Amino acid sequence: MKVLANDGISTSGVEALEAYGYEVLTTNVAQEQLVNFINNESITVLLVRSATTVRKDLIDACPELKIIGRGGVGMDNIDVEYAREKGLSVINTPAASSASVAELVFAHLYGCVRFLHDSNRNMPLEGETKFKTLKKNYAGGSELRGKTLGVIGFGRIGQETAKIGLGVGMNVLAYDKFIDKADVEVKLFNGSSIEVPITISSMEEVLSQSDFISLHVPAQDKPVIGKSELDMMKEGAGLVNAARGGVIDEVALVAALDSGKLSFAGLDTFENEPTPAMKLLMHSKISLTPHIGAATNEAQDRIGTELADQIHAILG
């Protein structure tokens, strides 16, 4: 049986699939040519990440498909329920990239509280001629230790983010519609660990009491953070979105940054991917990454092998 990893797969994932006896194709097929390729090559399993979409028309046109796999968490690029109604298995890897996304959140947080995102733009341009001016501009940084981190969405990635915050010495508040408490286990390098109970707070408490907010929610029909939510936040707070584009009202976000209500934002996802709004890309108070939350070698290895194991469990 053939597996098409249309958006790529790690070497470890290919090796695991081949060890189970599958033929793995890593050709990147254009969306408009995908149906023909799947049918002509008798593809049984289609693996995607975020670039390829799997909608009803493709599902209907490819009767030999048995499994659709998403290398990552969110599956908003797949018509999941329709595929399952048609008898296909739809799988993803919700745990594999959690640590990678959480670490990216803190890359944005550390970078922003010390102005690294802006310093790295201006040092190459003015570092030689305006070193003292830049030193003064970036001298008023702050520490994360002792501050309050608010986590909105307390699933796997939200809890991984909380673990880092706890390890740094932050107070952690969390909001989630579906749970009311969670025990977060912070593991240390020597194998020891400490378990910290987190009581789920209200959205209003998290917004009003947190120095920094990190979003970990699935794709939504409307923004989770709009003007009214931004108004509830502390003066000078920071906001990070490494979840999905559209969960923040980007117009309201820019207004909050311009007014000083927020001191910074860190964005890994955007409403209009892959063409984010220029007002975001050029804003001096926004730290930017191009949707790379899960893009570490370690996460991709875990994703590949986890997909292989799930596929083999289904197809035997």
Taking all residues of the chain, what is their mean pLDDT, rounded to a whole number?
A: 97
| Tens digits of residue pLDDT in 59-79 | 999 999 999 999 988 899 999
202 pLDDT above the threshold of 90: yes
Strand partners, 184: 196
Same topology, domains 2-94+297-315 and 98-288? Answer is: yes
pLDDT tops 90 at residue 316: no
In the chain, where are the structural domains located?
A: 2-94+297-315, 98-288
**Given 244, 250, 283, 306, the catalytic residue:** 244
d(C-alpha 74, C-alpha 247), whole Å: 13
The residue annotated as part of the active site, out of 23, 205, 271, 273, is 273
Integer CA distances (angstroms), 237 to 159, 170, 285, in order? 21, 15, 12
* List 117, 291, 302, 306, catalytic entry: 291
Question: Does 128 qualify as catalytic in the annotation?
Answer: no
Above 90 in pLDDT, residue 197? yes
pTM to 2 decimals?
0.91
Q: Which of 256, 296, 239, 248 is nearest to 272 (CA)?
A: 248
* Mean pLDDT on 5-17: 97
Fold category of 2-94+297-315 in CATH: Rossmann fold (3.40.50)
Q: Token pair of 145, please?
A: 């230790």
pLDDT tens, position by position, 119-171: 999 999 999 999 999 999 999 999 999 999 999 999 999 999 999 999 999 99
Question: Distance between terminal CA atoms of the chain?
Answer: 11
Q: What mean pLDDT is predicted for residues 248-264? A: 98
Q: Which two tokens stand for residue 232?
A: 């509830």
Name the residue among 119, 138, 17, 121 with its Cα closest to residue 71: 17
CB-CB contact of 39 with 58 (8 Å): no
Is 273 among the residues known to form the active site? Answer: yes
CATH 3.20.20.140 describes domain 98-288: no
